[in-house]
Amino acid sequence: MSPFGCWGLPTALLALFCCPGSGEEFEVHMYPEQLVVEPGGSQVVNCSTSCANPNTGGLETTLSKTLIQSKPQWKQFLVSNISQDTVVHCYFSCFGSQKLKSLNVSVFYPPKQMLLKIQPTWVAVGKSFTVECHVPDVKPLESLTLTLLRGKETLCNKTFTGEKNDTQGATATHKGMAHREDGRHNFSCHARLDLRSRGGAIIHRVSEPQMLKVYEPTPDNQMVVIISVASVLLFLFVTSILLCFILGQHWRQRRMGAYGVQDA
């Protein structure tokens, strides 16, 4: 039900007949002006007006609210169990005119888990590997930046656009070729949720560091076996040829020697 309906007409008539022109210059304020809370959160909201003697005033919201304190020029409420983005309105009417102020309430899910995965964890120089960072249940995505780091160096910076209401995960991926250098630094992932434009602060979270093991590409074991067998065979082959050659020479010399004796 609208709170404006029942008062709008009578107060307008009152303003027309009783005190024309008065009550036009007043303002409605709300504190805080912006609000960002974690799901299920509560917040004290102060509605105030510059009107010296307002007829009515209050807070219009679908959230559960409790009036904490009330003075002619201000009312303090507790709004609680805030579970999704919403708009809360504060209104006052003063001599027939009514004014309202709106407050955007955003619900945020801070990055809690930072899942960093390097695949494979053991890689040869020159081979490719992937670093993936996943943050489940984070919101609002448009306030999030994920940064993949190698040591202190930024590998990639990813920003997001949030279109759906649901809390969903965010993922940043970096594909690289392994350098020797990669094995000497820790990889990590940094999440930054910047809620300043919604009345909040900046929330940072860093993943556990992870290392990539980088090794020099060496011929594999099978290759080593094949090469050694081949070398041994080659050696035996060469030695036997040499041996045959030497023995052959020896034998020929002896026969030549025998002929020589015969000729003589």
Residue 12 or 117 having the CB closest to ligand NAG: 117
Question: According to CB under 6 A, which one of 41, 186, 195, 203 is a site residue for ligand NAG?
Answer: 186
Residues numbered 229-248 forming contacts with ligand NAG, rule: CB under 6 A:
none
| Total number of residues that touch ligand NAG (CB under 6 A) | 23
Check binding of 81 to ligand NAG (CB under 6 A): yes
Q: Output the smallest distance, CB 48 to ligand NAG, in A.
A: 4
Residue 15 or 200 having the CB closest to ligand NAG: 200
Per-residue mark of binding to ligand NAG, 103-122 (x: CB under 6 A)? -x------------------
Question: According to CB under 6 A, which one of 66, 83, 113, 239 is a site residue for ligand NAG?
Answer: 83
Residues numbered 33-52 forming contacts with ligand NAG, rule: CB under 6 A:
34, 46, 48
Tell me which stretch binds ligand NAG (CB under 6 A): 15-23, 107-115, 124-132, 185-193.
Answer: 185-193
> What is the SS3 assignment for the chain?
CCCCHHHHHHHHHHHHHCCCCCCCCCCEEEECCEEEECCCEEEEEEEEECCCCCCEEEEECCCEEEEEEEECCEEEEEEEEECCCEEEEEEEEECCEEEEEEEEEEECECCCCCEEEEECCEEECCCEEEEEEEEEEEECHHHEEEEEEECCEEEEEEECCCCCCCCEEEEEEEEEECCHHHHHCEEEEEEEEECHHHCCCEEEEECCCEECEEECCCCCHHHHHHHHHHHHHHHHHHHHHHHHHHHHHHHHHHHHHHHHHHHC
Tell me which stretch binds ligand NAG (CB under 6 A): 6-14, 69-77, 168-176, 235-243.
Answer: 69-77
> Which positions lie near ligand NAG, rule CB under 6 A?
31, 34, 46, 48, 64, 69, 74, 76, 81, 83-84, 104, 145, 147, 154, 157, 164-165, 185-186, 192, 209, 211
